[in-house]
Amino acid sequence: MIAPDLRLLVPAAACWLAVWLAAPWRPGWQIGAALGLGAGAVAGCWRGLALAAVVALLAAGAGLASSGLRAWARTSNPVAQLAAVGADVDVRLQVTGDPLVRDGTAHGRAYHLVIVPAQARALASDDGRAWRLRQPVLVLADDSAWSTLQPSQSVTAAGRLAPPRSGDDVAAVLDARGPPVHADGPSLVQRAAGHVRVGLRHAAAALPGQRAALLPALVDGDTAGLSATTEAEFRATGLTHLVAVSGENLAIVTGVVVGATRRLRLAPRAAAAVTLAAIVAFVVVARPSPSVLRAAVMGGIGAFGLVGGQRRRALGGLSAAVLLLVLADPGLAARPGFALSVLASLGLLVLAPGAAAVLARRLPAWLAAALAVPLAAQIACSPVIAAIGGGLSLTAVPANLLAAPAVAPATLLGVAAAVCAPLSSGVARAAAWCAAWPCAWLLGVAHEGSRVPASIVPWPSGAGGALLLAALTVPLLVAGRRAILRS
Partner 1 sequence: MRAPDPQVTARLQALGGGARSEPDSVDVPAPSEDDLAWAPPVSLSGYLKASLRARLPAPLREGRWDPGRRGLVVIAVLGLVAVLVAAAVVVRSRAHPVAAVRPDPPPGASVSSGPDPLAAGVTVLVDVEGKVRRPGLVTLPAGARIAQAIAAAGGALPGTDTTSLDLAQKVTDGQQLRVGEPAAVPGSTAGPSTGAASALVNINTASADQLDALPHIGPATAAKIIDWRARHGAFTSVRQLQQVPGIGPSTYEDIAPLVTV
Q: Which of residues 303-332 bind partner 1 (CB under 8 A)?
A: 315, 323-324, 327-328
Please identify, using beta-carbon distances, which residue of 447 and 481 lies nearer to partner 1.
481
* Rounded-to-integer distance, Cα 264 and Cα 262, Å: 5
Please identify, using beta-carbon distances, which residue of 26 and 262 lies nearer to partner 1.
26
User: Total residues contacting partner 1 (rule CB under 8 A)?
Assistant: 74
* Rounded-to-integer distance, Cα 401 and Cα 50, Å: 42
Q: Which of 102, 191, 262, 361 binds partner 1 (CB under 8 A)?
A: 361
Which 16-45 residues touch partner 1, going by CB under 8 A?
45
Please provide the DSSP assignment of 226-263 as one string.
--HHHHHHHHHTT-HHHHS--HHHHHHHHHHHHHHHHH
Q: With CB under 8 A as the contact rule, which of the stretches 100-108, 122-130, 144-152, 208-216 interacts with partner 1? A: 122-130
Q: Are 417 and 203 a contacting pair, CB within 8 Å?
A: yes
Instruction: Return the amino acid letter for 340.
Output: L
- Work out whether 357 is an interface residue with partner 1 (CB under 8 A): yes
Spatial CB neighbours of 212, under 8 Å, sequence gap ≥ 6 = 204, 205, 206, 225
Other Cβ atoms closer than 10 A to 267: 10
Which 162-181 residues touch partner 1, going by CB under 8 A?
177-178, 180-181
Cα→Cα distances 463→7, 352, 387, 467, 471, Å = 28, 25, 6, 6, 12
Q: Are 220 and 214 a contacting pair, CB within 8 Å?
A: no
Pairing of strands 100-106, 109-125: antiparallel
- Work out whether 69 is an interface residue with partner 1 (CB under 8 A): yes
CA 14, 164, 98, 208: dihedral to nearest 10 degrees?
100
Q: Which of 43, 476, 478, 483 binds partner 1 (CB under 8 A)?
A: 478
- Work out whether 122 is an interface residue with partner 1 (CB under 8 A): yes
Q: Which of 52, 198, 205, 369 binds partner 1 (CB under 8 A)?
A: 52
We find the least distance from the C-beta atom of residue 350 to partner 1, in angstroms, to be 5
* Rounded-to-integer distance, Cα 136 and Cα 257, Å: 35
Please identify, using beta-carbon distances, which residue of 181 and 457 lies nearer to partner 1.
181
Please identify, using beta-carbon distances, which residue of 286 and 344 lies nearer to partner 1.
344
Please identify, using beta-carbon distances, which residue of 326 and 446 lies nearer to partner 1.
326
Please identify, using beta-carbon distances, which residue of 59 and 410 lies nearer to partner 1.
59
Spatial CB neighbours of 264, under 8 Å, sequence gap ≥ 6 = none
- Work out whether 132 is an interface residue with partner 1 (CB under 8 A): yes
Q: Which of 13, 286, 351, 445 binds partner 1 (CB under 8 A)?
A: 351
Which 216-255 residues touch partner 1, going by CB under 8 A?
none
Q: Are 261 and 232 a contacting pair, CB within 8 Å?
A: no
Q: Which of 32, 40, 49, 72 binds partner 1 (CB under 8 A)?
A: 72
Q: Which of 49, 140, 350, 367 binds partner 1 (CB under 8 A)?
A: 350
We find the least distance from the C-beta atom of residue 47 to partner 1, in angstroms, to be 14
Instruction: Return the amino acid letter for 3.
Output: A
Q: Which of 25, 32, 49, 88 binds partner 1 (CB under 8 A)?
A: 88
